[in-house]
């Protein structure tokens, strides 16, 4: 055998071995790629199924949410409709009842003047009770009218410049009569100079009458009520303090809510309808002011306060 042929055998086997290895690698690679492709396709299929399932669930949730939103819209529309009906009803009732109440009040006053006997007899006492009841009802009618205007957005202010000292003197003179009937001392501390403010005179007097009236209503006989005011940072600050039953801390944020009545009055009598302070808050808010109350607790009296801008330039646009 020639030496060249003998030497070519290792090369032949080496080439054959390399070819077999390449073939094996190619077959294994192709098998692996097919298997990987099947795995990827299966995973993609599962992923698409999960996506489809999630989309169906999301679609169901969206439909449910849209249904709930639609029901909420209908509920809100119904609530607005009922609120409008209630406001109109209160306005109609308050307006229609004021005329007969005024008539009752007038006839009662005439009967009291025509009564031949003094004020100590039963007839005179009955007439006095009728007159007080009509006064209370007229006040309730006025409060209902205000609440109706507030809820309907028709609660407007008539801003003008006026002398606050004179307004307070008028309110003080009126409330002093009520205080004297209960044996309550009413003290007023005036600012040293006249104060002119830009506000709704009638509505501010309404706030003052409410705060002083409540203080007189809840103060014990022989108690003391103080009202004072001053100017601070271009704002009128007014305080009314009393020696009444006081207000619990957890109730101090509730007393300005409509129809709220305190459960802390130890006499157990509900006085008023719980509208005055709510209306007072609306009035002060309309003046870009604040109103609040402070009380150390039950049995220690209360201090109501409010502050409003003095000049129109202090109002936000």
pLDDT at 53: 80
| pLDDT for 250 | 79
254 domain-assigned? yes
Q: Is the model more confident about 270 or about 203? A: 203
Domain span including residue 256: 161-314
Half-sphere exposure of 238 (CA within 13 A, CB side): 27
Q: Determine the pLDDT at residue 150.
A: 77
User: Residue 279: which residues within 8 A CB-CB, separation 6 or more?
Assistant: 143, 146, 147, 150, 206, 210
Q: Which residue has the higher pLDDT, 120 or 155?
A: 155
**In-domain check, residue 144:** no
* Cα separation, 312 vs 162, whole angstroms: 12
pLDDT number for residue 207:
95
The average confidence (pLDDT) of the chain is: 79
| Residue 71 included in any domain | no
Q: For 133-141, which contacts have Cβ atoms below 8 Å and span 24 or more sequence positions?
A: 134/101, 134/104, 134/105, 134/108, 135/105, 137/97, 137/101, 138/98, 138/101, 138/102, 138/105, 140/273, 140/275, 141/94, 141/97, 141/98, 141/101
- Give the pLDDT confidence of 279-306 residue by residue, as tens digits: 999 999 999 999 999 988 788 889 999 9
Evaluate whether residue 242 is within a structural domain: yes
Of the pLDDT bands very low, low, confident and very high (cuts 50, 70, 90), residue 317 is very low
112-132 confidence digits (pLDDT tens)? 776 655 455 667 777 777 777
Alpha-carbon gap, residue 297 to 97, rounded angstroms: 39
User: Would you say the C-alpha torsion 136, 140, 141, 143 has a positive or negative sign?
Assistant: positive
Q: What is the pLDDT of residues 65-79, one digit of tens each?
A: 878 888 887 777 777
Average pLDDT over residues 84-106: 66
pLDDT category at 148 given cuts 50, 70, 90 is confident
How close are the terminal C-alpha atoms of the chain, in Å?
Answer: 117
Radius of gyration of the chain (CA): 42
Q: Is the pLDDT of residue 271 over 60?
A: no
181 belongs to a structural domain: yes
Backbone phi and psi for residue 294, each to the nearest 5 degrees, phi listed first? -130, 140
Amino acid 315: pLDDT: 44
User: What pLDDT was estimated at residue 283?
Assistant: 94
pLDDT beyond 90 at 212: yes
pLDDT value at 185 more than 90:
yes
State how far the alpha carbon of 98 is from the alpha carbons of 71, 111, 145, 223, in Å. 40, 20, 11, 34
The beta strands (E) that lie in 81-234 are given as 160-163, 185-189, 196-199, 224-232
222 within a domain of the structure (yes/no) = yes
Query: What are the CA-CA distances from residue 29 to residues 21, 25, 26, 41, 44 (Å)?
Result: 12, 6, 5, 18, 22
Q: Count of domains in the chain?
A: 1
Q: Residues of the chain with pLDDT > 70: what percent?
A: 80
**In a 10 Å sphere around its CB, with 0-12 CB exposed, 13-18 middle and 19+ buried, how is residue 114 labelled?**
exposed
Which range is least confidently modeled, 110-124, 174-188, 245-259, 268-282? Answer: 110-124
Return d(Cα 155, Cα 151) in angstroms, integer.
Answer: 8
Is the predicted pLDDT of residue 23 greater than 70, yes or no? yes
Q: At what angle do helices 3-114 and 122-151 cross, to 10 degrees?
A: 150
Residue 1 is assigned to a structural domain of this protein: no
CA separation for the pair 31, 113 (Å, rounded)? 119
- Please name the residue that has the structure tokens 């009802």: 137
Residue 304 forms part of a structural domain: yes
At 8, give phi and psi (nearest 5°): -75, -15
> Any idea which of 48-62, 130-144, 234-248 has the lowest mean pLDDT?
130-144
- CATH number of residue 301's parent domain: 3.30.565.10
**CB neighbour list of residue 22: distance below 8 Å, 6 or more residues apart:** none
Rounded to 5 degrees, what are φ and ψ at 198?
A: -105, 100
């Amino acid at each position: 055998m020639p030496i060249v042929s003998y030497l070519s055998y290792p090369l032949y086997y080496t080439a054959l071995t390399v070819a077999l290895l390449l073939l094996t690698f190619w077959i294994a690679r192709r098998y692996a790629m097919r298997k990987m492709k099947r795995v990827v396709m299966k995973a993609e299929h599962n992923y698409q199924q999960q996506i489809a399932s999630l989309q169906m669930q999301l679609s169901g949730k969206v439909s449910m949410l849209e249904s709930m939103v639609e029901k909420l819209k209908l509920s809100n529309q119904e609530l607005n409709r009922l609120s409008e009906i209630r406001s109109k009803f209160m306005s109609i009732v308050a307006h229609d009842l004021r005329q007969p109440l005024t008539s009752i009040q007038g006839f009662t006053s005439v009967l009291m003047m025509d009564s031949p006997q003094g004020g100590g007899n039963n007839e005179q006492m009955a007439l006095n009770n009728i007159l007080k009841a009509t006064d209370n009802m007229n006040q309730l009618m006025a409060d209902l009218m205000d609440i109706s205007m507030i809820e309907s957005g028709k609660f407007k202010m008539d801003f003008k410049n006026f002398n606050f000292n004179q307004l307070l003197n008028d309110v003080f003179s009126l409330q002093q009569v009520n205080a004297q009937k209960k044996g309550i001392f009413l003290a007023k501390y005036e600012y040293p100079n006249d104060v002119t403010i830009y506000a709704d005179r009638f509505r501010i007097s309404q706030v003052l009458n409410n705060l002083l009236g409540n203080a007189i209503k809840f103060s014990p006989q022989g108690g003391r009520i103080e009202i004072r005011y001053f100017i601070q940072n271009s704002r009128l600050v007014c305080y009314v303090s009393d020696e009444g039953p006081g207000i619990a801390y957890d109730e101090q944020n509730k007393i300005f809510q409509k129809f709220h009545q305190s459960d802390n009055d130890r006499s157990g009598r509900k006085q008023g309808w719980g509208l005055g302070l709510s209306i007072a808050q609306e009035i002060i808010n309309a003046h870009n002011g604040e109103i609040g109350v402070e009380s150390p607790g039950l049995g220690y009296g209360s201090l109501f306060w409010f502050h409003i801008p003095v000049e129109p330039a202090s109002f936000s646009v």
